[in-house]
Structure 1
Amino acid sequence: MFDQPVTPVTKSQFLQYLRCNNAFHLVKEGIVPKPSSSSYGGYLEWGDFLQLCRNQFPTSVTIDKTMDREESFLKTQEWILEKKSIFHAHLRYNHFVSTVEYLEYDPERDGWILWDFRPIGSVKQDILRSFYFHKQVAEGMSLNILGYKLIRIQTKYLFPGGSITPEDYLLIEDITPRMESEAGTRAEEWRQFQEEVERTNGQSVRFSFLDSKRSCRSLKTCLSPNHCAAGKENAKEIFDFRDSSELAKQWFASGYHSYETVPDSELTPIQKIQKQAHITGNTYFDRTAFENYLTNVTKTVAFLDFESINPYIPLYPNTRPFQHIPYLYSLHIWDTENDTLTHKTYLHEDLGTDPRVPVMAQLQKDLPEGITVFSFNDFFEKLIIQETSTAFPEFLEFWERVKSLFIDLAMPFKKLWIYHPGQNGKASLKEILPCFSTESHGGLSIREGQDANYQYLRLIKKQMTAEEKKRVLEDLKAYCKLDSYGLFLIYRMLLERLSVI
């Protein structure tokens, strides 16, 4: 099949094309590197998940990942002829290559079933598209494809402790009916893809942001604005307008390439606030909104931030897949009358045990009764306390006592009661903090929650040296401390504005 050297077309390229045809060509031609699709901690659990899936098929053979590409194709072809079911089967037809998690032979119907294993809780479009790509390659090899099956995670599974019970944890779904019902859509996507591959084979490609797929909505996520919006790269700022979505693409097509050029008549009240702030360089502040927002705040206030892991393979009894398990908190307590700031923290270092009870027990001691608790997107902090108290009823009274005391410090920034042009349309703590203080997460070793999650999972799974462990524990505490300290700085800034403006 490969008498002449050709560049193989892979499933990931097909999926990239369906998201953005510009990105497909940029990557295929080596103009930009392939975007990373890996999550921080996913691979730490992948091996265990894969083994649980493979254990459902004890008599199958496996294409070893140590084989080179040509050897893996030939070995797959050999086992197909022997009608063996194959893990990690390597398929190719013409210039298309495909790796199937599991290719199962059905002797009764003399055909093959395509399987995929995904550590997810729901079926997404990319899974169906992946199956269709595998199908096209397999049928090109004259394989009789009978159906499609998926093993994913049963998100309602409650881990009882001990060993994972695969029959309860794994959800096996027959995707065949859905594939058949959407066959027309999938066939049209495939037809367009093949046409694009043939049309551009050996030809120069015209890159244009406006010609890209609908899913490519923003120049901010474009792989290469220098190619897709040549000469207009700075137009990215109009995609910072809040709630603009597809509208910003229409503005770009109309020739609006900066905050100033978008007419007020096309902007919402919030977007007008943004525009004015960027033109003048001044911070917008809605005094009335803040006076109402802070009406019932106590004189002493707390600023709370949790860090958690959310493994898809549960680690502790009475937890579900993807459930957030707190292992660290940082608590700053500010007495506004005496202007004293106290810091409390707890990091669970007994890595072989469930951190929830120790974390909550210490927080219950550290948090004074009856004071306002500020968190950033407080839904998360409240969920942590609520789920822990549900699992451990000794904390129910604590939960009932504190749940009405929370105030979400993200809300004013989401609603644009305050807006600094340096936010560039964003409302995350990482973007806001440098705009209103001299503090920033930029100098930390751990700079975001996903990385903190990943590093603590590494600690649990003993994937670091003793020296590295000591450093990571300190880095985790420093990261969490800055989050709660940042909330204090923001709140103090708001009070100063209310007293001065």
Structure 2
Amino acid sequence: MFDPTLTPVTKSQFLQFLRCTNAFHLVREGLVPKPPSASFGGHLEWGDFLQICRSQFSNSNTIERTMEKEESFHKTLEWISENKSIFHAHLRFQNFVSTVEYLEYDIEREGWILWDFRPIGSVKQDILRSFYFHKKIAEGMSLNIIGFKLIRIQTKYIYPGGEIQPEDYLLIEDITSRMEAEAGTRESEWEQFQKEISRTNEQPVQLSFLDSKPSCRSLKTCLSPTHCAKGKENAKVIFDFRDSSELAKGWFALGYNSYESAPNSELSPIQRIQKEAHISGNTYFDRVSFENYLTNVTKTVAFLDFESINPYIPLYPQTRPFQHVPYLYSLHIWDSEKDILTHKTYLHEDLGTDPRVPVLAQLQKDLPSGITIFSFNDFFEKLIIQESAEAFPEFLEFWERVKSMFIDLAMPFKKLWIYHPGQNGKASLKEILPCFSSESHLGLSIREGQDANYQYLRLIKKQVTAEEKKRVLEDLIAYCKLDSYGLFIIYRMLQERLSVI
């Protein structure tokens, strides 16, 4: 039976416990807020995805999300007693609560099948763990659980246009055999969870970054270093070392709490570069590597950045789920001999149409032939042009002409041919740019690519007012412009260093 006097334990808490015991207690005791969902804007598509999934079933009852908790639970019990299949079934046992996306009754086998709907392309551990959480509660309610099924996305699906056909877009997967094969592992996890709840009995817990198992891998990802590493919060710098992984945890245990304290004998060559840069306060610069890297760069160069959406429900014909579709680019062109910088941009504002042809058509006009093109992590820019050209063959010649002209401006920072102490071990454009200029993304309304993706999708879904639409379009252009301008700043800084060193 469900005990209303106890604090409810949810599936998300169970999953949090399996990732980090400390985090579970921190959230449960209200010491830190619950971490946000990994999905930045997936809720914009969730309703449509749910509708497609539910279309695969008939004669089912739905627990509406607007129902009060008590009402939804009692309605679930009523329909269970009548052996009716239920969408969004609300389950409770002892102090555990869960909501199952679909609870199906199998008349022939006189048992229940647990279903989950996920807009993903592959089965993750958390899905199996979620199923097991639902199973334990359902069995506590005396339900006979006979199977587990998952509806996810067929990632190879190519949208032909028109109404999406669920049988092509969805992948229905019976994972009962996998759940049975991993039952020992899942039961062990459940027992550990039960023991932890029983041991702490909702009392304040002594938290330890090192002793907790499992725990997060780094103090930099810890929800609260002041609780988990009290008195040693500043030792986070140890986790700034590149490629340190679990090694940093060992260094922390040995008492290393600064760059200076880490002995060179335990560091890789690039980690020693970091250490020296932080101790001296000077920027490391590998002249030889840069001379080779920039050997074939043309006198006039381009700096290109795309913004894209990657909806899991395809919007345009000849696109796949999660495929990045460009809607905006910023292009800075620098004539180094004349020291003239030109800016070109295109934002697709006709939100009801496919942006790929207009984007590529304008880029083809704006981008001079035969010049070096710098992008940050250029795989992304090249993939966008390639996939768009494959869908629209009139751009294949353009793709063939430009693909060999790209140079990845992220490479020198990943390989540590250059390293500024202010990077703190990171190699993203957002971290690098303020180290070498007065420019920063912090003053922008949109600061991350994921947010840009989300904001444009909001425009498409018509979830903004006319006034807000104008502001969002301006913010998108400003964000993309700073990305390509930042590339120019970094490139010019590298050239200046080469000329004076």
In structure 2, what is the Cα distance between the partners aligned to 1:420 and 1:68? 54
Matched with 1:380 is: 380
1:141 and 2:144 aligned? no
TM superposition shift of 1:38: 4.8
8 Å Cα contact 2:18/2:214 also seen in 1? no
Q: Counterpart of 1:21 in structure 2: which amino acid?
A: T
Matched with 1:394 is: 394
Matched with 1:358 is: 358
**Deviation digits for residues 279-312 of structure 1 (CA, Å, limit 9, x no counterpart):** 1111000011100000000000000000000000
TM superposition shift of 1:203: 3.3
In structure 1, what is the Cα distance between the partners aligned to 2:164 and 2:59? 21
**Deviation digits for residues 300-338 of structure 1 (CA, Å, limit 9, x no counterpart):** 000000000000000000000000000000000000000
8 Å Cα contact 2:3/2:95 also seen in 1? no
**Distance verdict in 2 for CA 1:172–1:3, change over 3 Å:** closer
1:335 and 2:341 aligned? no
Q: Counterpart of 2:480 in structure 1: which amino acid?
A: C
**Structure 1 counterpart SS, 2:382:** helix
Gap runs ≥5 in structure 2 = none
Tell which deviates more after alignment, 32-41 or 373-382: 32-41
8 Å Cα contact 2:21/2:214 also seen in 1? no
In structure 2, what is the Cα distance between the partners aligned to 1:215 and 1:430? 28
**Deviation digits for residues 32-79 of structure 1 (CA, Å, limit 9, x no counterpart):** 111111522200000000000011112100111111111111111111
Q: Counterpart of 1:83 in structure 2: which amino acid?
A: N
Counting only pairs closer than 5 Å after superposition, residues 97-496 of structure 1 correspond to structure 2 as 97-214=97-214, 216-496=216-496
**Structure 2 counterpart SS, 1:220:** coil
Q: Counterpart of 1:159 in structure 2: which amino acid?
A: Y
**Deviation digits for residues 220-262 of structure 1 (CA, Å, limit 9, x no counterpart):** 0101100100000011111010000000001111111111111
8 Å Cα contact 2:21/2:215 also seen in 1? no
TM superposition shift of 1:191: 0.7
Q: Counterpart of 1:176 in structure 2: which amino acid?
A: T
**Structure 2 counterpart SS, 1:92:** strand
In structure 2, what is the Cα distance between the partners aligned to 1:27 and 1:330? 41
TM superposition shift of 1:212: 2.7
TM superposition shift of 1:2: 4.5
Q: Counterpart of 2:131 in structure 1: which amino acid?
A: F
In structure 1, what is the Cα distance between the partners aligned to 2:33 and 2:438? 35
TM superposition shift of 1:215: 5.5
Q: Counterpart of 2:445 in structure 1: which amino acid?
A: S
TM-score, normalization by structure 2? 0.99
Matched with 2:75 is: 75
8 Å Cα contact 2:9/2:95 also seen in 1? yes
TM superposition shift of 1:204: 3.1
**Structure 2 counterpart SS, 1:210:** coil
In structure 2, what is the Cα distance between the partners aligned to 1:481 and 1:213? 45
In structure 2, what is the Cα distance between the partners aligned to 1:9 and 1:214? 19
Q: Counterpart of 2:412 in structure 1: which amino acid?
A: P
In structure 1, what is the Cα distance between the partners aligned to 2:457 and 2:432? 28
Q: Counterpart of 1:45 in structure 2: which amino acid?
A: E
Counting only pairs closer than 5 Å after superposition, residues 60-71 of structure 1 correspond to structure 2 as 60-71=60-71
In angstroms, what is the RMSD of aligned CA positions?
0.8
**Distance verdict in 2 for CA 1:205–1:180, change over 3 Å:** same
In structure 2, what is the Cα distance between the partners aligned to 1:298 and 1:208? 55
Matched with 2:19 is: 19
**Structure 2 counterpart SS, 1:323:** coil
**Deviation digits for residues 402-427 of structure 1 (CA, Å, limit 9, x no counterpart):** 00000000000000000000000000
**Distance verdict in 2 for CA 1:464–1:408, change over 3 Å:** same
In structure 1, what is the Cα distance between the partners aligned to 2:366 and 2:213? 52
In structure 2, what is the Cα distance between the partners aligned to 1:3 and 1:374? 61
In structure 1, what is the Cα distance between the partners aligned to 2:67 and 2:305? 47
TM superposition shift of 1:130: 0.1
**Deviation digits for residues 169-219 of structure 1 (CA, Å, limit 9, x no counterpart):** 000000101101111110110111100110110433110001233551000
Q: Counterpart of 2:270 in structure 1: which amino acid?
A: I
In structure 2, what is the Cα distance between the partners aligned to 1:133 and 1:39? 22
**Structure 1 counterpart SS, 2:179:** helix
8 Å Cα contact 2:129/2:186 also seen in 1? yes
**Structure 2 counterpart SS, 1:197:** helix
Gap runs ≥5 in structure 1 = none
Q: Counterpart of 2:120 in structure 1: which amino acid?
A: I
Q: Counterpart of 2:225 in structure 1: which amino acid?
A: P
Tell which deviates more after alignment, 194-203 or 378-387: 194-203
Identity percentage of aligned residues: 83
In structure 2, what is the Cα distance between the partners aligned to 1:446 and 1:370? 33
Q: Counterpart of 1:34 in structure 2: which amino acid?
A: K
